[in-house]
Structure 1
Amino acid sequence: MKLLRIVVEGLPLFQEKLDICFYAQQRVSEDQRDFLYPLFSTVFLNTTNVFAGINASGKTSTLKVIIFVLNLLSGSPINGISVRSILGQANNVTFRIYSYSEKTEEICKLETTISFTNRDSKGQPVYKILFEKLWSKKVSSQTTRSNLLDFDDGKLIWDRNAPDNVDLLSFLPDDSSIIIAKNKKDDDAPDFTELLSLTDSNGLLALDLIPHLVEILPKEVITYLDPSIEYLKLEQDKQNSIHLKFRGKDELVLIEPTHLIKYLSSGTLKGIWVFAFALKTFWKGGYLIVDELENHFNKEIICTIIRFFKNHKFNKNGGTLIYSTHYPELLDENDRNDNIYITNNYDGITVTNLSSILKRNDMKKSDVYQSGTQTGTAPSYKSYIALKKSYESMIHAYNDHRKKDSDEK
């Protein structure tokens, strides 16, 4: 299952409706087809999607909405989704989710309205689905990018609130989507991995998994992340010991995965996670979601990850990287504007597709971003002056206080 578009209204943190498109909206030139994933006809998916913005601009919140949608489409109960708090205490949050099934060659539209009800004994928010409908339509030779999401001729499969669906509701929990039934029938659901927990910890809280990730990774990945490592491998002995050898040094045998933190850098640990799950994403054609991709990586490693997703030679199944960044220069790794989103947070989060601001693909994205003239991404000059004056005042007051104390002595 591939995401086509997400439109969400009523999210408390967002100033306006959130609209994220995953297929190429601009014209696709012949040379760009090598790094886009072909769905059908003239419809292509962007294999990388980046959300860029200054601190506290809403990047992480936007990623959480995407993760929530992927969980919903996978049939997860809302009250079991870790990022459900993004819904806040809203009475009506409506999701319109468009997806495409390569198995059945049909486009689906799921419209779900969710409401906050109360908090459980642990203080966690509890939600329920108020209204929900599911449509589908077969792809034909007449299906183009312009009419892709037009459901005037679509078939209504289920209406959660229709009187004749009493039997359906009798076994369906009020926080589970009706998409479950279609997923089971078609044996199709999105495959995804979200690594938001790596943003601060680099996976240090789950070091026990590192040896198993190392097992599936080619040894070249470890050498690429840290050239001083000769090998890192898991031995299938009674203790599942970890064997680590640095060039010119004796082999280290570690019994506890947590000991790796003494020898591997934060970048190497995070790299193992990202490259391992990138490989899984290539195999299954799913989604890999990483917040602040640049954390603990040098630029070349980041660019390598992005370029791998753009390489159609081994990303044959349409694996998609969704990431956020503070680094404007990373935007230049994107050949298009319609896979770049700019986040701002002034009295509420706004998420703007760069293609609606910048029509030309040949302009350097980082220059446009840093200028702030079209994107509103440059730090506020007014805020800078206020900060400068505040520091000047505090330092001046501190020096006056020290001088007064000195004179009194």
Structure 2
Amino acid sequence: FIGINASGKTTILKVISFVIELLNNKPINNISSNEIISDINGGQRVTFSAYFYHENIIYKLKTTIGKKENPVDGSTKFIILDEALWSKEIHRIKTKKSLYDFRDSDLKTERNSNEQYLMEDVSIIVALNKKQDTNFFLYDTSEFTDHNMLNVLGRYPKELLTFLDPSIEYLVCQLNEKKVDIKLKFYGKNEINLSSQFELNKYLSSGTIKGLSVFMGAVFAFIEGGYLLVDELENHFNREIVSTLVRFFMDKKINKKGATLIFSTHYSELLDEFERNDCIYIVRNKEGITAENLANILKRNDIKKSEIYDSDFLKGTVPAYESYIALKKVLISMR
């Protein structure tokens, strides 16, 4: 997802994270990204339609969410008001358009208010997940976008440390009761013992810290075949490190289980790493947030995507000229 500042990229990633957690049976009130629907009031509702695939079956889950007020203390919580699950075999899909078309006869199950064992904020998908013993692996780093810190315990691979900072001999983070014990050693120096991830900022660059978290997230995604979410991927990284991560996900020898990297960026040059247009979304915020697939507006693959983006040929991909002139005039008039 690429767009100018305040176009809605972070919000879109939070929506994706929210839906994946919903599909993983997590109670809505416990999902960290539920802030995206926190502004709805008692009379409003929001509906999510999620499409997913498993063992030659395409599913559609439609979930309508609202708020319920506690009459005693006035507190509110999220509840699922209505929900239905459809399914169809993949061999029925003849065109790309028909992928999202479901018949009434495809209805598999509906939410029943009489189901006494189903929590009000847990999706009916829980029954399907239990039957198939499946869920979606998600490694979401977006909550660390504004607070750059390590979020993985254990001994970090030597090869990763060398790739990010060749001066590091080893780094180990272990949970000891309720605190974290960190052992950091540089070549030719004494071991450093720390008790907080934040203390690492004194010894490691912000790029190294983010790199350790993001690349370890990639490792977990490669193992599980899941999703890695990164907001503002280029933050703290140089271009080559960002490109390396993207190429790892494209390499089938590394990414054997088809893990997916979902990220936002302002970095138009990164678009040139992708041969196809259909994995890139242009995000705009004009009377609401939209994400438009680049393949729908750019039919050619033989031109540099970064140049098309920076030229504003796609509309809304660079700051408005009028705002630039207004800012320039203010700066000129300053004394």
Using the TM superposition, give the Cα deviation of residue 386 of structure 1 relative to its aligned residue in structure 2, in angstroms.
Answer: 1.2
* Equivalent residue, structure 2, for 1:60: 10
Residue 201 (str. 1) matches residue 142 (str. 2): no
2-structure distance, mates of 1:367, 1:148: 33
Which residues of 2 match residues 292-331 of structure 1 at below 5 A?
292-331=232-271
Using the TM superposition, give the Cα deviation of residue 167 of structure 1 relative to its aligned residue in structure 2, in angstroms.
Answer: 4.2
* Equivalent residue, structure 2, for 1:266: 206
Which residues of 2 match residues 23-102 of structure 1 at below 5 A?
51-87=1-37, 88-89=39-40, 91-102=44-55
Q: Which of 181, 190, 193 in structure 1 is aligned with 2:127?
A: 181
After the TM superposition, which of the residue ranges 171-180 and 234-243 deviates more from structure 2?
234-243
* Equivalent residue, structure 2, for 1:371: 311
Using the TM superposition, give the Cα deviation of residue 116 of structure 1 relative to its aligned residue in structure 2, in angstroms.
Answer: 3.5
2-structure distance, mates of 1:236, 1:199: 23
* Change beyond 3 A, Cα 1:236–1:324: closer
Residue 360 (str. 1) matches residue 300 (str. 2): yes
* Equivalent residue, structure 2, for 1:114: 65
2-structure distance, mates of 1:236, 1:95: 38
- Which amino acid letter does the alignment assign opposite residue 156 of structure 1? L
Which residues of 2 match residues 163-182 of structure 1 at below 5 A?
165=112, 167-168=114-115, 170-182=116-128
2-structure distance, mates of 1:279, 1:72: 24
- Asked whether the 8 Å contact 1:329–1:366 carries over to 2, the reply is yes
Query: What SS does structure 2 have at the residue aligned with 1:109?
Result: strand
Using the TM superposition, give the Cα deviation of residue 240 of structure 1 relative to its aligned residue in structure 2, in angstroms.
Answer: 8.8
- Asked whether the 8 Å contact 1:293–1:324 carries over to 2, the reply is yes
Query: What SS does structure 2 have at the residue aligned with 1:111?
Result: strand
Using the TM superposition, give the Cα deviation of residue 92 of structure 1 relative to its aligned residue in structure 2, in angstroms.
Answer: 2.6
The unaligned stretches of length 5 or more in structure 1 are 1-50, 400-409
- Asked whether the 8 Å contact 1:241–1:253 carries over to 2, the reply is no
Residue 224 (str. 1) matches residue 163 (str. 2): yes
- Asked whether the 8 Å contact 2:180–2:195 carries over to 1, the reply is no
After the TM superposition, which of the residue ranges 230-239 and 54-63 deviates more from structure 2?
230-239
2-structure distance, mates of 1:81, 1:107: 25
* Change beyond 3 A, Cα 1:175–1:253: same
Q: What is the number of residues matched between the two proteins? A: 330
2-structure distance, mates of 1:240, 1:306: 31
Using the TM superposition, give the Cα deviation of residue 111 of structure 1 relative to its aligned residue in structure 2, in angstroms.
Answer: 0.8
2-structure distance, mates of 1:112, 1:158: 12
* Equivalent residue, structure 2, for 1:348: 288
* Change beyond 3 A, Cα 1:269–1:180: same
- Asked whether the 8 Å contact 1:337–1:358 carries over to 2, the reply is yes
Map Cα deviations across residues 152-183 of structure 1 (whole Å, 9 max, x no partner).
275322111xxxx4542x22222221111111
2-structure distance, mates of 1:167, 1:222: 54
After the TM superposition, which of the residue ranges 91-100 and 65-74 deviates more from structure 2?
91-100
1-structure distance, mates of 2:14, 2:21: 10
- Which amino acid letter does the alignment assign opposite residue 136 of structure 1? S
Which of the pair has more CA radius of gyration? 1
- Asked whether the 8 Å contact 1:72–1:78 carries over to 2, the reply is yes
- Which amino acid letter does the alignment assign opposite residue 13 of structure 2? L
Using the TM superposition, give the Cα deviation of residue 125 of structure 1 relative to its aligned residue in structure 2, in angstroms.
Answer: 6.0
Residue 256 (str. 1) matches residue 195 (str. 2): yes
Using the TM superposition, give the Cα deviation of residue 323 of structure 1 relative to its aligned residue in structure 2, in angstroms.
Answer: 0.3
* Change beyond 3 A, Cα 1:381–1:79: same
- Which amino acid letter does the alignment assign opposite residue 157 of structure 2? P
The unaligned stretches of length 5 or more in structure 2 are none
